[in-house]
Amino acid sequence: MTSTPIKLKIPAQDLAAPTRFSANVADVSNWLQSLPDASLAGELSSALAELNSCAISPQVRYDILEVLRPQVENANAQLARHYLNQSPLVSTDVLGHAEQADQLCTLLGTAYTIVGVEVCTQGGAGKTAKLACEAIHRALMCCGRAVLQTMQLYRPLHMDGWMNLHQLYALAQQQKIAELPVPDPLDAGPTITAAYLQAILLGCCQPNRSRQSDLAVLYKALGDWSQHVALHPTPSDGSLFVVDIDSDQPPLYRHLVPEETTGRRLYLDTAQLLLDLRELHERALRTGATFESGSRLPVNILEQVVAALSTKRSRTFKRMLSRKTLAISPGMKNCHYYVASGLIFEQVLYGAIFEASRLIKEERFTPPLPNTDIWHEANPHEDFIHSTMNQAQEWVQLDEASRARLFRDEIDDGLADGVSHYPVYQVPLADVSPGGYCLDLDPAFPGVLRTGELVCLQEDNNSAWQIAVIRWLHMPSESRLLAGLELLSPRARAFGACIHDKSGKKTPPMRALLLPEIKIIGQAATLVTPRAGFREG
């Protein structure tokens, strides 16, 4: 590895000095204090781009960057509010915020790379080697954050993104500083190797199958877990993935890389990490994995990581191109409604003659409670209107379809804007297989899709509503989103479920779906509930 040239691109330092501030820490601090929050990201981008073209000694440049870095992190946090926790098919304005965040990470990473390259070129030991180690570690941290931000948007990494990661690690290996501990590693791994593997492992963990918030927690965890992964020039029994550090490619399954391929390969040995994760999984089976920062990684994400690092994924069914459209309605609330033949949740619990007029009035003027069920504060004994009429006078005979339509029309007519609470979208298909569908969406799609979200779907107006889950999202371009749906069941039944605590108290009912047993594939009957504290027993 020592004889191969390093392929890192850095701008020419053809400016004598920066124009926004003098090249010293005190003046940079004063300049930062004068910046308004509204223009922080733009000013930092311009300042970093200019600084990267200035001829400054490595130590002075590093000291300036350490002052700028916290403000870059603040600016990135502000920008993230505009593009996270919404549909990946964002508007042009929102996409601009994401691109600006990526640019900030790239510029800061380039600045630290300049320090590392210049120090390594000049040679030396002691403090000089320490500066090179810290600068390369910071550069890898910036590159890793760019990887995280890109994967949170389900997009491919920009050109040279993986190449920069690989080559920074190769430079550290060449200088024999990859395993030196970094005094202040921040939220990256404690060594250059660990920081490099933190980003590499994220690419191995099927990030397009995770939610944005879960990816952020997972990335922090990988900073610690990466210390239990080894890189070897030759494969071993625990080597499922391989990286070519001379390429601009993410980690790949080892069996997909031909043996005759040129380039320097490093094989990831995750055997020890898998042992640790399986032990952690047993401890966290009911509560999830909790970290010192207070962040919690759901058990299902932990299971996904173990599966991704231990077995190679391959398609079970053959995909066939399709130009048909599919009716979908995402979310547990919508699935419950359509599976129940158009009955609202209260009607499922207390019968189709449940009085809905009060519910309509409350929904018209009262904002919905965040992250709670509509039934959370309802009182069925007060909401159900008891009449003095005898039962024969009170009952009206209606067939099921008419009754469902009557209540649906009553609720929809009561909405101020006339928009249904349970939207259905007609979406085009990219391909189909016996196990599911691939949706092909464009920016005109009005809904929001998230990985792991329940979806009910219908192939035509006369067919039953099927239950599926969004397994993965991928954006091959800015105007196209592919969503993979895995079929769970051809039908379901709608119920309400309560959590019983140890004292005997129970929560208000929450929506639940019962998926029937499918004997032909050995699938037992399954109860689908919200992400709450349910457990078997």
Q: Please check whether residues 235 and 185 belong to one and the same domain.
A: yes
CB 120 within 8 A of CB 160: no
Average pLDDT over residues 253-263: 78
Q: Please check whether residues 272 and 388 belong to one and the same domain.
A: no
Please state the separation of Cα 195 from the chain's center in Å.
Answer: 20
Highest mean pLDDT, choosing among 127-136, 142-151, 291-300: 142-151
Q: Which of 439, 228, 485 is nearest to 324 (CA)?
A: 439
CB 111 within 8 A of CB 51: yes
Position 234 in a domain: yes
What is the per-residue pLDDT for 104? 97
Q: Please check whether residues 255 and 161 belong to one and the same domain.
A: yes
Position 469 in a domain: no
Q: Please check whether residues 91 and 193 belong to one and the same domain.
A: yes
The token pair that represents 483 in the structure block: 């969503």
pLDDT in tens, 321-353: 998 999 999 999 999 999 999 999 999 998 877
Average pLDDT over residues 265-272: 93
Q: Please check whether residues 250 and 383 belong to one and the same domain.
A: no
Lowest mean pLDDT across 138-142, 317-321, 355-359, 506-510: 355-359
The token pair that represents 91 in the structure block: 């508007």
Identify the three-state secondary structure at position 438: strand
What is the per-residue pLDDT for 387? 38
Q: Please check whether residues 121 and 255 belong to one and the same domain.
A: yes
Average pLDDT over residues 32-60: 94
Q: Please check whether residues 135 and 240 belong to one and the same domain.
A: yes
**83-to-86, 98, 180, 481 alpha-carbon distances in Å:** 7, 6, 36, 15
End-to-end CA distance of the chain: 56
Position 370 in a domain: yes
**Would you say residue 404 has pLDDT above 50?**
no
Q: Please check whether residues 69 and 171 belong to one and the same domain.
A: yes
**Would you say residue 301 has pLDDT above 90?**
no
**Would you say residue 225 has pLDDT above 70?**
yes
Position 432 in a domain: no
Range of the domain at 194: 25-310
Average pLDDT over residues 130-148: 96
Angle between helices 161-174 and 92-122 (to 10 degrees): 20
What is the per-residue pLDDT for 535? 62
What is the per-residue pLDDT for 264? 87
Residue 124's pLDDT band, with cuts at 50, 70 and 90, is: low
Give the C-alpha separation, 383 to 394, whole Å.
17
Q: Please check whether residues 358 and 286 belong to one and the same domain.
A: no
User: Which of 413, 431, 465 is the last residue in one of the domains?
Assistant: 413
User: Which of 367, 388, 413 is the last residue in one of the domains?
Assistant: 413
Position 466 in a domain: no
Give the C-alpha separation, 445 to 426, whole Å.
9
What is the per-residue pLDDT for 291? 65
Give the C-alpha separation, 482 to 13, whole Å.
42
User: Which of 369, 384, 413 is the last residue in one of the domains?
Assistant: 413
pLDDT in tens, 273-289: 999 999 888 887 766 67
Which tops the pLDDT comparison, 446 or 492? 492
Helices (H), 291-431: 299-310, 332-339, 345-350, 357-365, 380-383, 391-394, 400-413
What is the per-residue pLDDT for 501? 79
Give the C-alpha separation, 371 to 532, whole Å.
11
Residue 95 identity (one-letter amino acid)? L
Percent of the chain with pLDDT over 70: 82
What is the per-residue pLDDT for 378? 42
What is the per-residue pLDDT for 432? 93
Position 514 in a domain: no
What is the per-residue pLDDT for 37? 86
What is the per-residue pLDDT for 274? 93
Position 477 in a domain: no
Q: Please check whether residues 186 and 56 belong to one and the same domain.
A: yes
pLDDT in tens, 142-188: 999 999 999 999 999 999 999 999 999 999 999 999 999 998 899 89
Residue 374's pLDDT band, with cuts at 50, 70 and 90, is: very low
Position 124 in a domain: yes
The token pair that represents 226 in the structure block: 């990466």
CB 139 within 8 A of CB 195: no
Residues 6+ apart with CB under 8 A from 54: 13, 15, 16, 17, 18, 23
User: Considering its fold, how many domains does the chain have in total?
Assistant: 2
Q: Please check whether residues 288 and 358 belong to one and the same domain.
A: no
Average pLDDT over residues 407-434: 68
DSSP string, 325-349: EEEEEESHHHHHHHHTTS--HHHHH
**Would you say residue 17 has pLDDT above 80?**
yes
* φ, ψ dihedrals at 177, nearest 5°: -125, 10
What does the mean pLDDT of the chain come to? 84
Helices (H), 55-160: 58-83, 92-122, 127-152
Which tops the pLDDT comparison, 504 or 251? 251
Q: Please check whether residues 281 and 384 belong to one and the same domain.
A: no
